[in-house]
Amino acid sequence: MQLASWEPNGERRLVRNEMDRLVEDIYTKNFLHGTPNEECSSFVDISETDMSVVVQAELQGWKAKDLHLRIKGDTLTIIGVKDREDKERNLQYQRFERCNEIFQRVLNLPCGVKADKVKANFSNGVLKINLPRAEEASCVRLVVA
């Protein structure tokens, strides 16, 4: 009989991942048609180094002034708010689909970060966020003798 390893927080992590996926689906799916909603979807890469966590998000069509970040514990929230102020008031529109847009992407980071040291850069539709690890979350490499 083969024994299975038990991870004390494994079930909680599975539930958390599933809840994150469900919440993310609300923002990235068009529930009427079941297809990704172009205005809300963003592709994200999360990578780690010994000293920091790096998040890169593709946000085509957005401007830096429309984006906001919120960091709480090990959670990063990217918020985009696009206000369509260029609508001409003296025109009679037959159709006006280019309206205000809002999106929010909540990401669980692999560790705690120093929120006051975060640096973000937005260039060519890609938001790059460098989040230095908190002291207690820094990687330590040990040599096993």
Q: Each residue's pLDDT tens digit in the chain (145 positions)?
A: 677 666 677 777 778 888 887 777 665 554 443 444 444 557 899 999 889 999 999 998 889 999 999 998 888 999 988 876 665 666 777 776 666 778 888 999 988 899 899 999 999 999 999 999 987 755 556 667 5
* Nearest CA among 42, 23, 57 for reference residue 101: 42
CATH topology of domain 42-136: Immunoglobulin-like (2.60.40)
β-bridge mates for residue 56, sequence order: 45, 128
Give residue limits of the domains in the chain.
Answer: 10-41, 42-136
The answer for residues whose C-beta is within 8 angstroms of residue 31's C-beta and 6 or more apart is: none
- The model carries a pTM of 0.62
